[in-house]
Amino acid sequence: MAQTPAAPTNPLVTGSEIARIAGVTRAAVSNWRRRYDDFPAPAGGGANSPLYDLAEVRAWLETQRKGQDVTDEVQLWQELRGAYGDDILRGLGDVLQTLATPEERKQAALPDAVIHLARRMAQEGSLSDVAQGLAERFTESVRRTGSDQVSSPRLVRAVQQCVGDVPDDAVLFDPACGIGTLLLAVGAD
């Protein structure tokens, strides 16, 4: 009987996330994959969108002396990917709910590292900055993977042209809203 490989236990990261961690461009990561035989092998994803074991990537970057200090934003994203996996959108919602809730009230069941990083980021900037940063990172990540959780800019522009001005009291319905890109673009400000 054939054995199925065990699911990875560490968070998986994309080439773009490796580039952020190392402080280089995505092209540099692509070059490393081709030039270095010891670059970590993909641990998931597909041929066009491979995912790498974060611990292996960090170890490789350290060995090659190619890494730099990881920002709070990158650490937060990595912690969320590790805790939520494919349900990252729920993780983003839990972070924002936790930040918007007074500390003494019950919080979403987030790992302590996530709460600590998110609160520190909100204190250094604002809740809005954290929300915007996470939304942008999510949007970029799902566009790379071809997910349908974010409406493409082209589709948003086309719908805006067809819809025109929307009254402030209008009710909008988008059955595939994902994070609401289309609704936000078409709806009242």
State how many domains the chain has. Answer: 3
Q: State whether 114 and 135 are in the same domain.
A: yes
Tell me the average pLDDT across 101-115: 74
166 is in which domain, residue-wise? 153-186
Q: State whether 140 and 165 are in the same domain.
A: no
**pLDDT confidence of residue 155:** 66
Note whether residue 7 is domain-resident. Answer: no
Note whether residue 132 is domain-resident. Answer: yes
pLDDT mean across residues, the chain:
78
- 70-84 pLDDT tens trace: 677 878 888 888 888
Note whether residue 171 is domain-resident. Answer: yes
Q: Which residue has the higher pLDDT, 106 or 84?
A: 84
Q: What angle is formed at CA 102 by the lines to CA 101 and CA 103, rounded to 5 degrees?
A: 110
State percent of the chain over pLDDT 90. Answer: 7
Q: Please determine, for residue 13, whether its predicted confidence score (pLDDT) is greater than 60.
A: yes
Q: State whether 38 and 87 are in the same domain.
A: no
Query: Which residues are CB-contacts of 58 (< 8 A; sequence separation ≥ 6)?
Result: 21, 67
Q: State whether 180 and 136 are in the same domain.
A: no
Alpha carbon 117 to chain centroid, angstroms? 15
Note whether residue 1 is domain-resident. Answer: no
**pLDDT confidence of residue 41:** 94
**pLDDT confidence of residue 67:** 65
CA distance 121 to 90: 19
Note whether residue 87 is domain-resident. Answer: yes
Alpha helices per DSSP H over 23-174: 26-35, 54-64, 72-84, 88-100, 112-124, 127-145, 153-163
pLDDT band at 152 (very low <50, low <70, confident <90, very high): low
Q: State whether 136 and 175 are in the same domain.
A: no
Note whether residue 3 is domain-resident. Answer: no
Q: State whether 140 and 90 are in the same domain.
A: yes
User: Model-level pTM?
Assistant: 0.50
Q: Please determine, for residue 149, whether its predicted confidence score (pLDDT) is greater than 60.
A: no
